[in-house]
Structure 1
Amino acid sequence: MNVKFRNQTTKWLLAMAFLCCPLVMNATPHQEVQNTKIQLNLKKASILDVLKSIEAQTQLSFVYNNELKALQKRVDFSYQSDSVDSILQKLATEYGVSFLRIHNSISVKVNAPKATADRRPIKGTVVDEKGIPIPGVSVVVKGTSIGVATDFDGNFSLEVPTDAQTLVFSSIGYHSQEVTIGKNTQFKVVLKEDTTELDEVVVVGYGVQKRGDVTTAIASVKAKDLEDKAVSSVAEAMVGKMPGVHIAQNTGAPGANLQVRVRGVGTITAGTAPLYVVDGVPLAKEDLNTFNNNDIESIQVLKDASSAAIYGSRGSNGVVLITTKKGAEGKPSFSYNTYLSIQNVSKKIDLLNAYEYADLVKDARNNSYADRMESINKRRAARSQAPISFSSADDNATRLKNTNNDYNTIIPVELQPYLQGVQGLTDTDWQDEIFRTAVMTNHSVSISGGTPNLKYYSSLDYLNQDGIVIGTNFERIGLRLNLDGKTGIFKFGASLNPSFVKEDKVNANGAYNENGGGVIASALHYAPIFPVYNPDGTFSFAQNEWSASTTTMVNGVKRIGNSQTQAWNPVALARLTSNQTKANRLLGKVYAEAEFLKGLSYKMDFGFDIFSDAQSTFKPSTIPLSNTAGNPPSEAEATSQTSQRYNWVFEQTLNYNKNFGEHHLNALGGWTMQYQRDESNYMFANGFISNSIQTLNAGTVTRGNSQASEWALLSALARLQYSYKSKYMLSAALRADGASRFGNNNKWGYFPSLSAGWRVTGEEFMQNVKFLTDLKLRASYGLTGNFRIPNYGAQGEFSYYSYVLGGSSPAVVKGMGASALPNPNLQWEKTAQLNVGFDASLWKGLLNLGLDLYNSNTYDLLLNVPIPRTTGFATRLENIGKVNNKGIEINLSSNINWGKWNFEPYFNYSKNINTVKELGPGNADIISSGSIANAYFITRVGESIGSYYLPVVEGVFKNQAEVDASLHYIDTPNNYDYQTSRPGDFKFKDVNGDGRLDILDTDRAIVGNYLPKFTYAFGTGISYENFDFKIDFQGVYGNQILNLSRRYFYNHEGNMNNYRGALNRWKSESNPGSGMNVRANRVSKGQNGVTSTWHVEDGSYLRIKNITLGYNLPKNISKYFSNVRLYCSIQNLYTFTNYEGYNPEVSNRTDATTSGEDYGVYPLARTFTLGLNLKF
């Protein structure tokens, strides 16, 4: 025994040293349960009754086959203060049964009679779908009492009658399976998991609950749904798995966080993200890219207000509960998971090539020349002067003469070879230049095990992901240690999860600029006639010079000449600028629990989430200041920014859990307090003497600031859960939150909830309804709050101002002045939600159905309300306004066994309707600006939050007759020429019907919204023997995208490249193109450039999200491992959509009132993966 102990400990210590996680392990065998004294006095009872009585008095559970006749024989049993071991020994001796204990589970078998001449031996192994052995499986010859249970390695052997035909394999949590014996002597049986039989336990916040007793709306994702996914964020593996939880991947940048919304958007100005809780610790920062997917045991999302109310003021947007893996009693178990992924861009934009671009520029210059000459001749006619004749065949010198040197009318000399069809000229595909085939690798090792007194789980994870855009990378190192111990009445534990992240970024999103921004936009805009590099190997910025100011001449001829044209060489932006962030995170908790009385326990938790990061950027002087040629070289610039966040939470809870006959009661009470402090520092420097030294000390720091803020939360909570026969269920909860963020008159908020459930199939009148295995009706109502507002919104704020003081020698001095009025009545936004639904299982789990209907009202919205100017302020933050979300969620799944085949199809559907019910005084509209001029969003009563508010394009003027019959534009202060529409220009709708067009103000309409009408997902898992296959589809329908990039890709001005759709533009009255595509014109026409319905596109899509094929090696090949699995997968294989941009999930902005923009965003990657999982 001592030798065995030392060997086991040595293995364990070596493994933990490898993971750098020192543990203390007690390997002494645990005898507490076996030595427990119990009393039994049963009359006319069976052995099964004895086993059930033992289960009721201990923590043991028994696994057996109900059909074994030996277990049903009725006799009298009387045991007085005997130990469990003693009773089991007596049963084994007197009744011919035997027991095999694994942890706290004991399998029961009836001893087989001794072999006779008419019997023959057979043996085999029972494994699960992943090839992992299953201990304690009952193996019985059908119609007899001959049977055994599998051992720890899933093996069995027994003597069967020579005429035996069928073996029955059964185990709790798995579908029973019958196997024909025939002449076989060796068997390998794969059992499929039966989730309907498992009576699965789910995390519900401050505790767990049997899924069968849950009366609220909770969605779940298990560990197996996260496996085989080559993703850097846990959220990406959750996409499409839960109805009512919309997860959008707005950007494909490596390591980027996804946008998660639960049941729509219920706020206008406060945060919309759910609360994340990991192992009971609320996250201080919503970055899920610091977690290792292989560490996660399950994810539950509390969707309705009743389930989330236990989190009170932070539950309004839903709560995501992440539970990590724990150790289990037994010898150390090792696992190693690794994969290699190859990524490429999932879609490219179809742009004009260099020759097509040259033709567009020529067309734009000719039209600009014609418009200019028409305007000149009108003025000449007014002066009784003869018109000047002109033609598109005029050379540049003639054009300059006729137009008084209007350089927007000439054909650039650089285009002449292209227009003449000379082959072999520069034709750069700028997308090919910035996109690359990128590699992602991941390695994850873990060890778990323990004794009855101490269990452990530890892991080490490394991820390195190159981005598909050059210059981008995400790297993560993570370590996890979970400990759970027990001694006497005490339980204790700790979890520790340090992680380190390094990100190299490029500013891919938004408009192009000389500071390194807009790499994607620049790649799409940059003219294909220019090369990436100059002949000397330096980066070319030829388009910046080509689009130069009016002083630049080439051989006496002006170039394109428009200082507003801004596009920088995107390869130079990505290669020369640097933007790196390094972040450290320490997430963890410690806890202690004592069970003073049976069922009554007291628990203390202390959790923490400490986060710090440092970001540095550098732009060298080799990137031009602007697009104006002849400018002096730019100055090198650098920034340095650091931030720290310290968050801790201390909780004390008292829990009472008791069975009274067929009644079950769970009561929870407690209090919590949480504190968070944020600090940040920022510095900017320029004047660097060299591009090689990029630290701030090599330049001159000219700007800087530092900030600090803090908040605190004090809470009390209570919950009562009751069930009778698991047929009638009731749950009630109340949480009171006091927060520093809110006004002195409303520091406390109270958040109650109530839910009930009825298992209809538990009633006598349902017993003859054989096809209905389970039916549970649910209803809930609850109140939650939204905590996500500025820390000091209720308090008067002061800001720094500069004042000029003094007479003849004035000096600038700093001072402070009030910048916001206090509001002592400021309080939480509140959400009241009613939810009704049901869960059903038909034909013993062949079909599982869940349905939820909900109606959610969020009120006391935080809005800036106008106040009298006499106060010295324009607005004040107040609680006013109301938003409604209502919808339906459907979840379908099945588990079909057909011989060696298993099918697990699923489908889910979610529809949410968002409506603004009330706003500020007079229900005045809230108008929000987009990223470019005249792009407006509106939040209006009766409509959805953040709808697009734009002029309506009815088409393109096909001829002059249509122009003459059209309405005139009213005068505007903008520099747009609305009075001179011509054939080929946009034709707008008179929205208000007043007979005039004012497309910048009154002639606008609500033309779409970023919120989808419904989302859906479907797929299936298929397995056959050692092979398994999965395919997942995920889709969205009914949302619109405001594609602001079309302002440039379809402007037809010729100052930058365009979509290939520009080939279908209006060219003449006889060739009007598509009827929705304006003519080319070098001079921007106001009505053609204003953001309108022309920029709104359908964002619906269906994506093949994931395809995985796996194979588990047979045991005889992988005899040194308990399981070896190989797999290959494809992520984001293809997206079916009419959207013209890269990604229909796009949104440059994430706030509720201005989401849905596409203004140049990092595309999604298509990922091909090869992976290996080892367990031993």
Structure 2
Amino acid sequence: MRKLVTLFFNVLLFAVLQVNAQTKTVTGKVTDSKDGTPLAGVSITVKGAAGTVTQPDGSFKIVVPTTAKSLNISSVGYTRQDVSIPASGVVNANLVREDSNLDEVIVIGYGTAKKKTDVTGSAVQVSGERVQDRPTANVLDALQGQVPGLQVYNSSGEPSSTPSVRLNGVGSLGASSTPLYIMDGVPIDAGTVLSLNPEDFESVTVLRDASATSIYGSRAANGVIYFTTKKGKVNRSQISLNTQYGVSNLVKPTLDMFNGFMNTKQLTDFWVATGYQTQAQVNNLLSIYNADTKWYKTYYRENVPTTQVDLNISGGGGKTTYYVSGSYFDQEGLAFRSGYKRYTLRTNVTTTVNDWFQMGINMFGGYDERQTNPYGTNSTNRGLALLAAPFYSPNDPSGRPYPNLIPGWARYNPEYLANTNRGNSNNLQFNPSGYIQLSPLKGLTIKAQAGLEFYDFRESSVRLPSFIGSLNNGAVSEGFTRGSTKTFTNTAEYKFSFKNRHNFTALAGQEFIQSATTAFAGSSTGQTDDRLITISAGPTNFSASSSRTEYAFLSYFGRLNYNLDSKYFLDLSVRNDQSSRFGRDLRGATFYSAGFMWKATKERFLSNISWLNDLNVKATIGTSGNSSIGNYQALATVGSSLYNAGTTFGISSAGNPLLSWETQRQINLGISGTIFNRLNFDIEYYDRKTSNMLVSVPYAFTSGFSSITSNVGSLSNRGINANLNYAIIKKKDASLNTYVNLGYTTQKITELFQGKQFYIIPNTGVSWAVGQPVSYFYPIFSGINPATGNPEWFRPNADPNLIVQTNKDPRNVTTAFNTNALQQNTGIKRYAPLTGGFGLSGSYKQFSFNADFSFASGKYMINNDRYFFENPNQFPGFNQSVTVLDYWKQPGDVARFPRYGVQFTQFDSRLIENASFIRLKNLTVAYNVAKDVLARTKTITGARFFVTFRNIWTLTNYTGPDPEVDTNVSLGANPNTSQVAFGLGLQF
């Protein structure tokens, strides 16, 4: 028995020794590569063994097979590492934060992010730091001049205005040319951007060519702007508080224009000289009114405030990260009852449940209040208020503003008018999105994402019963609009390699978008009490209306990325879209793209060139679609009305069952690289052709409809985008960098409709002509005849088909003005061919600065204000620009204006002005408090003081209020403003 027991223990001991001989224990510690902080909750795995996680001090212990060669170490917010197991069995790893490589990673579409250097398509990324700390509500304003080929214009000084945005020229003559906006993988409306908080953005990526945009198919014909919001970092908890206060004023070109009007002596002397009034009449007038008023100071305020407060908390522990932010923004406009107030709240949470399951949710909510001063265009209550004679005064003899009507001027005090005729609106915005991501196999990622864009917009208009212009007859109207867009996206991505040389990424996906908008409105008049201004309190003119509109997209797409030795890259994509906006049998369209990139510096024959650090050559081709039209233009619709107290029905739109996709084909050729580790360059040529354009084609009114939307014509845009960045100084405590970027576009219409060679768009001064860009079509002014003092205009070519060819024959002029008879091609382009920006940034120890300029060259605009401000005999009794003093008086005079008694200004080419400009868009100077000083507080880890200037300098020859307005005709514009803001940023 004893022998049996001894034999049993010997066998057991042998088995234990054998097991121990097949495994070993590995220990170590994981820290942050940047600051050496121990990382807790880091996943440690190895094939054939149970995984573990690190302790609070970053240490770990794991039993692994003796055959194990390496450990897989991963954590949310850090780059995954495979670390070899040394003979000692001790592994100490330093994980690199993913955000430290932000400039090297870029989101270009569906699927996982890619290294920036591996992107075949044309994509430009702007870091979140470049769009933050700006004293403006809209993040798009900060992109002006930052991206080659991206044109951003702010057409109004209203704080709630939305800039116009175009990429690589105007892509369509009829449909929208606005890019597609994406936030964290979910499409959003262009108007939603205003409701977002720029402080929440990690980066903004602009996708410009077909290789980058075709995967989005529908609505991507005009490029894509992708917003990536911030996320937390594991073991990097941080509280950030940023606040700033600033003031706004008119920009200098606007002040120059406003100060360019006649004072009291100039105006009255002009009246006497021209015989409009006698000296006795003037003396009598000045005995009653004897002021010398600068009226813009009455209609525009000075030093109006802007306040911003942003608070965000971010961090993470274990396998979960979070980012929570809240913000408050309040900016007043220079005009009365003009302003924008916004509150936002965002929560982004991501968690890795286990090695194969990840999920996340982003929640954004915002509420804003908007007030817009409505008295622009032809209104003498602001837009044309400079017509007021300077001898009138807005103040009584004691210096106090007249409470309502201004004597002589017969207009209301602008503050009184705004307060008694109120227009207010507010918007509730909600944009949640969430995803689940599975990795069941190595290299395979399956992702399902859903997003909602919801808004509830309310606008109201009130005329108080106490308004003396309509006493005891108030008016109230209210309207509500509610919209929701649901997006469901499912993708499967598989990455694999063959022989460690051939690297593939295959993606397949499906997307469904459904949108619905409902609206209703009501109004009434006759309210008699300011305390009771509801619709129901108005006994007269009751009205009510409601509407509903919907659209949907169903899409299937795929992409294949391949690279050989990370040297030769090939990207292929295809997408099929179905849109409810088109004819039943024409709703589908398929778009494709192909892109190639060669990393030339990886070739042996270039590897030894020391000054050439990087050189990439790219070529892409692809198609994309545009469906930015109304939702039911393919359908013949019926509308109802009232007749003899009964409901009637009639055809309200003709419809077009043949309506289908507008398509674009784009080719890009590019080269980029780095020289001497200092100069980065990126230059590309593009050829963009739009066909089957969605255009409202005119028809004779006898058909019952003035126009029908159809697929007609074609348009070509070709150009060059270039970006240069140069590091002048690169030292530990000092840096100095400069950049310049530009986008140059040549536009040509290659086909129109109904066999037409040209089409003059009514009441716009603009024409489309085959073989030419969109151009201004106006009578061309020849000059003032020095012998007679009469104005003269060039006669167009006698053949009506040749009026697209500019005629400036000095022997063929006329003094008889007729718009229709004299209009011809001026040869002036509607859209600026050259836009861009340049700037300088640097730092020295704790100090830093950043200056960004934007510019537009070849930008022209009809300055319609001059028709009113330079036409004294058309608007007698009103003030005029001092320029009208240069008028013809006697034979031989070379003058700007004709003799008095003849209309000084007509709607002709004189009003088409060069609105090219260079503008100092942003100047920021900052001081960062030294770390050793902050260490004494034991709570504050970062402190930054800064001052930011916006639009403080503009160079332009345009004589209107603002050269940046993006329109063919400018009249009574609410001009852009300049700001100076002081800020403080704290981190805890």
**TM-score, L = length of structure 1:** 0.73
Question: Alignment partner for residue 918 of structure 1, among 744, 751, 773?
Answer: 751
Structure-2 residue corresponding to 1:1075: 895
Letter in 2 for 1:1160: G
Contact 2:941 2:987 in 1 (8 A): yes
Pick closer, same or farther for the CA change 1:676–1:1048 going to 2, 3 Å.
same
Q: Distance in 2 between matches of 1:355 and 1:88?
A: 94
Question: Alignment partner for residue 233 of structure 1, among 129, 135, 138?
Answer: 138
* 5+ long unaligned stretches in structure 2: 1-37, 51-67, 797-806
- Matching of residue 954 in structure 1 with residue 782 in structure 2: yes
Structure-2 residue corresponding to 1:598: 442
Following superposition of structure 1 onto structure 2, how do residues 497-896 of structure 1 map, counting pairs within 5 Å? 497-512=364-379, 519-533=381-395, 537-543=402-408, 569-620=413-464, 635-660=473-498, 661-700=500-539, 701-803=541-643, 811-844=644-677, 846-865=678-697, 872-873=704-705, 875-895=707-727, 896=729
Question: Alignment partner for residue 885 of structure 2, among 1052, 1056, 1064?
Answer: 1064
Pick closer, same or farther for the CA change 1:710–1:538 going to 2, 3 Å.
same
- Matching of residue 441 in structure 1 with residue 307 in structure 2: yes
Letter in 2 for 1:1034: S
RMSD of equivalent CA atoms: 3.2
Structure-1 residue corresponding to 2:922: 1106
Question: Alignment partner for residue 415 of structure 1, among 278, 285, 290?
Answer: 285
- Once the two structures are TM-superposed, the CA of residue 672 in structure 1 deviates from its matched residue by 0.7
Question: Alignment partner for residue 158 of structure 2, among 242, 249, 253?
Answer: 253
Q: Distance in 2 between matches of 1:1132 and 1:440?
A: 15
Letter in 2 for 1:1075: A
Secondary structure at the counterpart of residue 510 of structure 1:
coil
Q: Distance in 2 between matches of 1:968 and 1:1140?
A: 27
- Matching of residue 942 in structure 1 with residue 771 in structure 2: yes
Letter in 1 for 2:187: P
Secondary structure at the counterpart of residue 267 of structure 1:
coil
Contact 1:526 1:543 in 2 (8 A): no
Letter in 1 for 2:114: Q
Q: Distance in 2 between matches of 1:508 and 1:461?
A: 31
- Matching of residue 902 in structure 1 with residue 913 in structure 2: no
Structure-2 residue corresponding to 1:1126: 945
- Matching of residue 492 in structure 1 with residue 359 in structure 2: yes
Contact 2:794 2:813 in 1 (8 A): no
Structure-2 residue corresponding to 1:1165: 977
Secondary structure at the counterpart of residue 452 of structure 2:
strand
Letter in 2 for 1:87: I
- Once the two structures are TM-superposed, the CA of residue 942 in structure 1 deviates from its matched residue by 2.1
- Once the two structures are TM-superposed, the CA of residue 1122 in structure 1 deviates from its matched residue by 1.9
Structure-2 residue corresponding to 1:129: none
Secondary structure at the counterpart of residue 825 of structure 1:
coil
Letter in 2 for 1:727: K
- Once the two structures are TM-superposed, the CA of residue 770 in structure 1 deviates from its matched residue by 1.5
Q: Distance in 2 between matches of 1:744 and 1:447?
A: 50
Q: Deviations over 1:1094-1148 (max 9, x none)?
A: 211111111111111111101232123221111112111110111112210113x
Question: Alignment partner for residue 90 of structure 1, among 81, 88, 106?
Answer: 88
Following superposition of structure 1 onto structure 2, how do residues 1045-1060 of structure 1 map, counting pairs within 5 Å? 1045-1053=865-873, 1055=876, 1057-1060=878-881
Contact 1:1129 1:1170 in 2 (8 A): yes
Contact 2:787 2:892 in 1 (8 A): no
Structure-1 residue corresponding to 2:3: none
Contact 1:607 1:648 in 2 (8 A): yes
Pick closer, same or farther for the CA change 1:205–1:1140 going to 2, 3 Å.
farther
Q: Deviations over 1:105-129 (max 9, x none)?
A: 9xxxxxxxxxxxxxxxxxxxxxxxx
Letter in 2 for 1:608: L
Q: Distance in 2 between matches of 1:507 and 1:796?
A: 35
Work out the number of aligned pairs and report it.
906
Secondary structure at the counterpart of residue 527 of structure 2:
coil
Q: Deviations over 1:831-872 (max 9, x none)?
A: 10000001111112x000000100100010122345688865
Structure-2 residue corresponding to 1:242: 147
Pick closer, same or farther for the CA change 1:907–1:623 going to 2, 3 Å.
same
Q: Deviations over 1:271-313 (max 9, x none)?
A: 1211100001101353312111111001111111221111112
Q: Deviations over 1:750-776 (max 9, x none)?
A: 111110000111111112222111100
Letter in 1 for 2:602: G
Contact 1:236 1:249 in 2 (8 A): yes
- Matching of residue 1024 in structure 1 with residue 894 in structure 2: no
- Once the two structures are TM-superposed, the CA of residue 634 in structure 1 deviates from its matched residue by 8.6
Contact 2:599 2:616 in 1 (8 A): yes
Structure-1 residue corresponding to 2:913: 1097
Secondary structure at the counterpart of residue 668 of structure 1:
strand
Q: Distance in 2 between matches of 1:1139 and 1:54?
A: 71
- Once the two structures are TM-superposed, the CA of residue 588 in structure 1 deviates from its matched residue by 1.5
Structure-2 residue corresponding to 1:300: 205
Following superposition of structure 1 onto structure 2, how do residues 964-1003 of structure 1 map, counting pairs within 5 Å? 993=812, 997=816, 999-1003=818-822
Contact 1:956 1:1078 in 2 (8 A): yes
- Once the two structures are TM-superposed, the CA of residue 711 in structure 1 deviates from its matched residue by 0.5
- Once the two structures are TM-superposed, the CA of residue 878 in structure 1 deviates from its matched residue by 1.6
- Once the two structures are TM-superposed, the CA of residue 1056 in structure 1 deviates from its matched residue by 5.7
Contact 1:1013 1:1038 in 2 (8 A): yes
Structure-2 residue corresponding to 1:222: 127
Contact 2:404 2:417 in 1 (8 A): no
- Once the two structures are TM-superposed, the CA of residue 87 in structure 1 deviates from its matched residue by 2.6
Letter in 1 for 2:377: G
- Once the two structures are TM-superposed, the CA of residue 1006 in structure 1 deviates from its matched residue by 2.5
Secondary structure at the counterpart of residue 272 of structure 1:
coil
Contact 2:506 2:559 in 1 (8 A): yes
- Matching of residue 1138 in structure 1 with residue 957 in structure 2: yes
Structure-2 residue corresponding to 1:137: none
Letter in 1 for 2:429: R
Structure-2 residue corresponding to 1:330: 235
Pick closer, same or farther for the CA change 1:606–1:60 going to 2, 3 Å.
closer
- Once the two structures are TM-superposed, the CA of residue 91 in structure 1 deviates from its matched residue by 5.7
Segment of structure 1 superposing worse, 477-486 or 345-354: 345-354
Asked which structure has the greater CA Rg, the reply is 1
Following superposition of structure 1 onto structure 2, how do residues 282-431 of structure 1 map, counting pairs within 5 Å? 282-347=187-252, 348=255, 349-350=258-259, 351-363=261-273, 366=275, 411=281, 415-417=285-287, 425=291, 427-431=293-297
- Once the two structures are TM-superposed, the CA of residue 29 in structure 1 deviates from its matched residue by 4.8
Contact 1:675 1:712 in 2 (8 A): yes
Pick closer, same or farther for the CA change 1:34–1:992 going to 2, 3 Å.
farther
Pick closer, same or farther for the CA change 1:358–1:33 going to 2, 3 Å.
farther
Pick closer, same or farther for the CA change 1:763–1:689 going to 2, 3 Å.
same
Structure-2 residue corresponding to 1:126: none
- Once the two structures are TM-superposed, the CA of residue 357 in structure 1 deviates from its matched residue by 2.7
Q: Distance in 2 between matches of 1:848 and 1:611?
A: 42
Contact 1:460 1:480 in 2 (8 A): yes
Contact 2:351 2:358 in 1 (8 A): yes
Q: Distance in 2 between matches of 1:906 and 1:959?
A: 54
Q: Distance in 2 between matches of 1:689 and 1:620?
A: 8
- Once the two structures are TM-superposed, the CA of residue 732 in structure 1 deviates from its matched residue by 0.6
Q: Distance in 1 between matches of 2:598 and 2:364?
A: 41
Q: Distance in 2 between matches of 1:965 and 1:1024?
A: 61
